[in-house]
Amino acid sequence: MRRAPTEPLAVRAALLAVAVGFLAVFLVLPLVAVFAQALEKGFAAYVTALREPDAGAAIRLTLLTAAIAVPLNLVFGLAASWAIAKFDFPGKGTLLTFIDLPFAVSPVISGMIFVLLFGRQGLLGPFLGAHDVKVIFAVPGIVLATVFVTFPFVARELIPVMQALGNEEEEAARVLGAGGWQIFFRITLPNVKWGVLYGVILCNARAMGEFGAVSVVSGHIRGLTNTIPLHVEILYNEYNFQAAFAVASLLACLALVTLLAKSVVEWRSQQASRREEPAREAA
């Protein structure tokens, strides 16, 4: 097969070199550096840093936060995208704008908002104080801040998918006698499952990696209110580079797993849509 004429070889090589060079300097090199630093004092020291009690507490808190934030935002995202894509109602534009709010606001500001709301001098401070509920500098604050920062992911992913699917299959199901939940679980959800998974993966990655908002509300109490990113910062500030990078390598691994999962999901959903395309042309 003859190649179509393209740019001269030199130009192509130069462009490729620029792209690869950029990737190497800004992405691969830091990633390698993280693992190199983490393993600097050998594998035993690496494991010790991860098994240290404070590190364990940070890992558990991060997992707990994600375990609450991701399902909550999954439910919210499904409800919001369903409502926005399938129905017309007053205030739809406003709702769409509000979903984007966490993307628009700096995470630090998001954290501050929660301090202003729930802090001791905050709006709800006296009420919470009287009932002995601690939100700021405690686990509930961290969860709240994370939920806030991550809530656009699932909804943003699903709205275009649902809009592209249209309403016809749901209508067909309704005529055939299916109820609301039956339509949702048997028709809508299977049609958007790859979009849901994609949104959940992104949402989870952000929930575990969030630093700014959580940093403001956490109070940095070792073993109690430190998530993985905060724990890394503390270790780093104590010049304990090896331990800092060891814990950071967990987040780097999470990033790699996320990227892998993301490309698998993208590949699968492309396969799914490709199966539909040829026949659509024949129709």
Partner 1 sequence: MSIEVRNVTKKFGSFTAVDDVSVTVPAGELVALLGPSGSGKTSLLRIIAGLEAPDAGAVFFEGEDQARRDVRVRRVGFVFQHYALFRHMTVFENVAFGLRVRPRGARPSVADIRAKVMDLLKLVQLDWLADRRPSELSGGQRQRVALARALAVEPKVLLLDEPFGSLDARIRQELRRWLRRLHDDIRLTSVFVTHDQEEALDVADRVVVMNRGRIEQMGTPQEVFEHPATPFVMTFIGQSAVFAGTVQGGKAFLGPLAVDYPAHLHEESRPAAGYARPHELDITRIENGGGGLWATLRHASPAGAVVKLELSDAEGRSLQAEVTREQNEALQARVGERLYVKPRKLRIFVEG
Q: How many CB atoms lie within 10 A of CB 210?
A: 27
* 275 interacts with partner 1 by CB under 8 A: yes
Q: How far is the CB of 82 from partner 1 (least distance, A)?
A: 17
* Size of interface with partner 1, in residues (CB under 8 A): 24
Q: How far apart are CA 13 and CA 9, in angstroms?
A: 6
Q: How far is the CB of 26 from partner 1 (least distance, A)?
A: 40
* 278 interacts with partner 1 by CB under 8 A: yes
Of 52, 169, 242, 268, which lies in the binding site for partner 1, with binding defined by CB under 8 A?
169
Q: Give the phi and the psi of residue 52 in degrees, each rounded to 5.
A: -60, 140
* 44 interacts with partner 1 by CB under 8 A: no
Of 174, 220, 262, 268, which lies in the binding site for partner 1, with binding defined by CB under 8 A?
174
* 172 interacts with partner 1 by CB under 8 A: yes
Tokens of 180: 């609301």
Of 81, 171, 240, 250, which lies in the binding site for partner 1, with binding defined by CB under 8 A?
171
Q: Give the phi and the psi of residue 179 in degrees, each rounded to 5.
A: -85, 175
Let me know if 152 is exposed, middle or buried by CB neighbors in 10 A (0-12, 13-18, 19+).
buried
Tokens of 37: 């630093």
* 87 interacts with partner 1 by CB under 8 A: no
Nearest to 174 by CA among 164, 161, 162, 184: 184
* 88 interacts with partner 1 by CB under 8 A: no
* 280 interacts with partner 1 by CB under 8 A: yes
* 9 interacts with partner 1 by CB under 8 A: no
Q: How far is the CB of 233 from partner 1 (least distance, A)?
A: 45
* 175 interacts with partner 1 by CB under 8 A: yes
Q: How far is the CB of 201 from partner 1 (least distance, A)?
A: 21
* 89 interacts with partner 1 by CB under 8 A: no
Q: Tell the residue number behind the tokens 């909804």, with chain if given.
A: 155
Closest to partner 1 by CB, 193 vs 262, is 193
Of 64-72, 170-178, 232-240, 249-257, the window that binds partner 1 (rule: CB under 8 A) is 170-178
3-state secondary structure of 185: helix
Tokens of 22: 């950029």
Let me know if 114 is exposed, middle or buried by CB neighbors in 10 A (0-12, 13-18, 19+).
buried
Q: How far is the CB of 111 from partner 1 (least distance, A)?
A: 41
- Helix (H) / strand (E) element for 236: namely helix 228-237
Judged by CB under 8 A, the chain residues 179 through 208 that form the site for partner 1 are 179, 182, 186-187, 190-191
The string over 246-255, giving b where at least 16 C-beta atoms fall within 10 Å of a residue's C-beta and e elsewhere, is bbbbbbbebe
Q: What residues line the site for partner 1 (CB under 8 A)?
A: 168-169, 171-179, 182, 186-187, 190-191, 275-280, 282-283
